[in-house]
């Protein structure tokens, strides 16, 4: 029984490690759904006034989606790798395909939260009903009183309407909610098709076999984890050395003392080395051997980012 449980835990661990991007996107989507629900309950209040409903309804859908998109762009490491690449080397080494893949990766990941927000806003229908209720044509409503116009229709998202308009309010609300949910389901379908086509295109255009691409994913993940962990230790030991030089001693706990003794640090890495391992990476091979990252390329002593007789550029970006 214990062996069975251990084997299942091992399987789950491997699954989560291999699907980290998908799980991250799922968590982003779930967080966005929770935020949208909280916003609808606590913050959304339709003004029920002509000309204001439309602006408020569209702002309730569009402004949070825009903010989530910008946050997604800022949090994406590819964004800052692109900034570093343009600042240090320019984009002369980028082909059109590489540039398209890079921007597609940034925009695609940043779009997860705003698309989720928009979809659930449309499925709920409150913002859509608020925005478009005043534009419903009275002639499309059977026996709608002629003395009421756009101002009365603008109040339909609220419940304080004359008693003789209650049935019309229910009909307008039902009609607009149907339209809103239809657009929401269509958006889900369009996004699903785009994701499917993108995945197919990526695997069709990849110069790597499925197994090598899986290995590359594992390598990048392990390199990033080890680099971050080592950088934390290196910076702490270097800081301890500098503090000791300034004060004559440094107050370290037992674990930090062992760390300083085990990992002696002489100085910080020079800027050219940091620049060499920072920026957008395009998959390359050197004499038939793969180079999986800028750090890997630097460790092998390969210079430059463009094609050369000894280093063939495969035009495939790290995702």
Q: Is 12 helix (H, G, I), strand (E, B) or coil?
A: helix
Predicted TM-score (pTM) of the model is: 0.69
The greatest distance separating any two alpha carbons of the chain, rounded to the nearest whole angstrom, comes to: 91
Task: 43-47: list long-range contacts, CB under 8 Å, 24+ apart.
Answer: 44/126, 44/127, 46/126, 46/129, 46/130, 46/157, 46/158
Q: Cα–Cα distance between 2 and 59 in angstroms, integer?
A: 55
What are the distances in angstroms from CA 210 to CA 18, 106, 202, 319? 13, 23, 11, 14
Residue 94 · residue 146 · CB < 8 Å = no
Residue 248, Ramachandran bin (φ over 0: left; ψ between -120 and 50: alpha; else beta): left
Instruction: Return the axis-axis angle of helices 52-75 and 112-124, rounded to nearest 10°.
Output: 150
Give dist(CA 94, CA 19) in Å, integer. 29
- pLDDT tens across the length of the chain (319 residues): 444 333 333 333 433 344 455 555 555 566 665 665 555 545 778 888 888 899 999 998 899 899 989 998 998 888 887 777 777 666 655 666 667 777 888 888 889 889 988 998 899 898 999 999 888 888 778 777 777 777 888 888 887 777 777 788 888 889 999 999 999 999 999 999 998 998 888 778 777 888 888 899 899 999 999 999 999 999 999 999 999 999 999 999 999 999 999 998 888 999 889 988 887 787 888 888 899 998 999 999 886 554 443 333 444 444 4
Q: Do residues 284 and 311 make contact, with C-beta atoms less than 8 angstroms apart?
A: yes
Instruction: Tell me the C-alpha distance between 237 and 243, whole Å.
Output: 10
C-beta of residue 238 within 8 angstroms of C-beta of residue 265: yes
CB-neighbour burial class of residue 297 (10 A; exposed 0-12, middle 13-18, buried 19+):
buried
């Amino acid at each position: 029984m214990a062996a069975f449980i251990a084997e299942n835990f091992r399987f789950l661990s491997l699954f989560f490690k291999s699907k980290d991007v998908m799980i991250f996107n799922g968590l982003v989507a779930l967080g966005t759904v929770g935020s949208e629900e909280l916003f609808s309950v606590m913050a959304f209040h339709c003004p029920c006034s002509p000309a204001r409903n439309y602006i408020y309804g569209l702002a309730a859908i569009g402004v949070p989606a825009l903010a989530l998109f910008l946050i997604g762009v800022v949090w994406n490491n590819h964004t800052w790798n692109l900034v570093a690449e343009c600042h240090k080397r320019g984009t002369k080494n980028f082909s059109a395909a590489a540039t398209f893949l890079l921007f597609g990766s940034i925009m695609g990941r940043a779009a997860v939260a705003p698309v989720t927000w928009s979809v659930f806003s449309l499925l709920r229908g409150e913002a859509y009903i608020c925005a478009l209720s005043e534009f419903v044509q009275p002639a499309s409503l059977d026996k709608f009183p002629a003395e009421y116009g756009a101002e009365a229709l603008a109040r339909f998202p609220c419940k304080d309407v004359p008693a003789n308009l209650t049935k019309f309010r229910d009909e307008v609300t039902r009609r607009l909610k149907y339209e809103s949910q239809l657009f929401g389901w269509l958006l889900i379908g369009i996004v699903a098709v785009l994701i499917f086509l993108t995945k197919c295109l990526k695997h069709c255009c990849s110069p790597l076999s499925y197994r090598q691409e899986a290995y590359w994913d594992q390598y990048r993940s392990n390199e990033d984890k080890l680099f971050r962990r080592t950088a934390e230790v290196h910076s702490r030991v270097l800081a301890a050395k500098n503090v000791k030089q300034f004060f004559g001693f440094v107050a370290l706990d037992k674990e930090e003392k062992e760390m300083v003794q085990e990992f002696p640090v002489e100085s910080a890495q020079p800027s050219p080395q940091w620049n060499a391992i920072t920026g957008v990476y395009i998959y390359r091979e050197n004499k038939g051997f793969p180079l999986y990252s800028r750090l890997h390329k630097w460790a092998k002593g390969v210079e430059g980012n463009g094609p050369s007789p000894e280093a063939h550029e495969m035009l495939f970006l790290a995702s």
